[in-house]
Amino acid sequence: MANEWRDVLLEELAEDVTVGHVGPMASEYVPEGIPFLRSQNVEPLRINDSDLKFITPTFHERLRKSALSPGDVVIVRTGKPGACAVIPNSLIIANCSDLVIVRCGPMLDPQFLAYYVNSVAAHHVDSHLVGAVQQHFNVGSARKMLMHLPELYEQRAIAHILGTLDDKIELNHQMNETLEAIARALFKSWFVDFDPVRAKAEGRDPGLPKPIADLFPDSFEDSELGEIPKGWEIQSIGDLADVVGGTTPSTKESAYWEGGTYAWATPKDLSGLSVPVLLNTERRITDAGLLQIGSGLLPMGTVLLSSRAPIGYLAVAEIPVAINQGFIAMTPKTGTPNIFLLLWASVAHEEIVSRSNGSTFLEISKANFRPIPVVTPSANVMRVFEKLARPLYERIVESTHESRTLAALRNTLLPKLITGELRVKAADGFIQEATT
């Protein structure tokens, strides 16, 4: 341990430790205004602004106590207590609800504090949760958080090292979102809106290289789904893929689980994915366990769709995998790219849900899933689509592997750096090797 580090309470290092607005808010939300953070917007080391709410400037003035500024540190009180992040510069003015707000003093780096709370201080949060119905972390316990603290320059150096990894992970995340959006837009343009066909039918330039444009028809014909490009077909999803389900081997039988080597997926494994790429599963099964699953070990490239609670989680398995009963798995047949199936399932979500049933929760059965009609292009168009979309997906897979490796390195270094067990100079080599 670093002898020059000192033990000090958070309240001694912070200019202020307070709590955001607590109380009903739904009636105060407006379409545009001052950003209003809720606990679901705060993830470990990251503010997720995908579902921000907004309040009026007038209401913002009434909630001065819960006003946020860039550099403030917020800690979740309920739901996922202890998740902690720094308010970014992009949120110049904001408010929050039910979050502990820490405004750091001159001897405490905000990023260092966020790393500290998300790692070694987790035990403090867990041991100070209160409440019988819904446990929460209160502001008084936050003030009494004991920190093992180096000098400010070393705090900043540690935060910089860990931030280098997180910045690369976030860059990969943003790039993946962009690549996925491009693939979705291409699929929708060609196979939902039929833009190239529509342009040719109206005498317009479809905006594609001539060899590709020539593959599309220049007129439509009637079908059971309405007008579709002339010469294209209506096929069922069961014509395009082998559709199977899975099961859960008895959890009481240790021979099915102990020492398991085969990946076994549940919808939970897909719920936290930022991109539709499955690289690992929480649980594994043995040879004996695999024999209990009729669909066996599905090949790499299988498209997985959660079929209940909820319907719609999607991923391509980048590993051979067995599945539980909460999935519909699609193994593509010859001539059908798995990325076509993946994107089709995404845009066909409402149609899939409409064919589900169930009194406790909605579920789409394989029998109801297989007949769903799909507008299928010519083989030439399908091949060109895969040629364009496949590199996008492969880049997503590559950067997801990279982010997983970087996250593992960060998780290894974080507790060692944040406690002084590993010094900054020793960690530099790891970072340079991982990010170059």
Per-domain residue ranges of the chain: 6-149, 154-226+377-436, 233-376
Count CB neighbours of 369 within 10 A. 21
Residue 1: predicted pLDDT: 46
Residue 37: predicted pLDDT: 92
Q: Which CATH superfamily is domain 233-376 in?
A: DNA methylase specificity domains (3.90.220.20)
Q: pLDDT tens digits, residue range 64-86?
A: 888 999 999 999 999 899 999 99
Q: pLDDT tens digits, residue range 257-293?
A: 999 999 999 999 999 898 999 999 999 999 999 999 9
Residue 436: predicted pLDDT: 62
- Report residue 176 CA to chain centroid gap: 11
3-class secondary-structure state, position 168: helix
Q: Residue written as tokens 């340079």?
A: 432
Query: What average pLDDT does range 117-125 have in this prediction?
Result: 91
Please determine, for residue 132, whether its predicted confidence score (pLDDT) is greater than 90: no
Q: Residue written as tokens 């090797």?
A: 433
Q: pLDDT tens digits, residue range 192-228?
A: 999 999 999 999 999 999 999 999 999 999 999 999 9
The per-residue DSSP string of 175-230 comes to HHHHHHHHHHHHHHHHHTS-HHHHHHHTT---SS-HHHHTTS-SSEE--TTS-EET
Say whether 233-376 and 6-149 share the same fold.
yes
Look up the CATH architecture of domain 6-149: Alpha-Beta Complex (3.90)
For β-strands 46-47 and 129-130, DSSP reports them as unpaired
What is the C-alpha to C-alpha distance for residues 323 and 421, in angstroms, rounded to an integer?
41
Share of the chain above pLDDT 90, in %: 80
